Amino acid sequence: MSMKEEVVLRWLKKAENNLKTVKHLLTLEDAPTDVISFQCQQAVEKYFKAYLTLVDVRVKIVEEEG
């Protein structure tokens, strides 16, 4: 397996873990919708990172000046 494939699989695994958390939280009587929303957003971000890695798009991280 190539290094790129390993990175993609790691991102996918992390996203799946976020979704597992969401599924569990949804079983609670008073499910915390803010936490559920955050976990969903995190999963989407990780799926997107997996896709970008797969298609060889590198993203430059720019730090904000404070």
- What is the tens place of the pLDDT at every residue in 42-58? 999 999 999 999 999 98
Whether residue 15 lies inside any domain: the answer is yes
Contacts of 66 (CB under 8 A, 6+ apart): none
Q: Which regions of the chain are under pLDDT 50?
A: none
* In a domain? residue 10: yes
Helix (H) or strand (E) holding 27: none
Q: Flag whether 66 is in a domain.
A: no
Number of domains in the chain: 1
The verdict on residue 63 lying in a domain is: no
Task: Decide if 64 is inside a domain.
Answer: no
pTM score of the predicted model: 0.84
Residue 62 lies in a domain: no
User: Residue 7: inside a domain, yes or no?
Assistant: yes
Q: Give dist(CA 54, CA 41) in Å, integer.
A: 20
Print the domain residue range for 43.
3-54
The CA distance from 40 to 33, in Å, is 10
Q: CA angle 34-38-41, nearest 5°?
A: 140
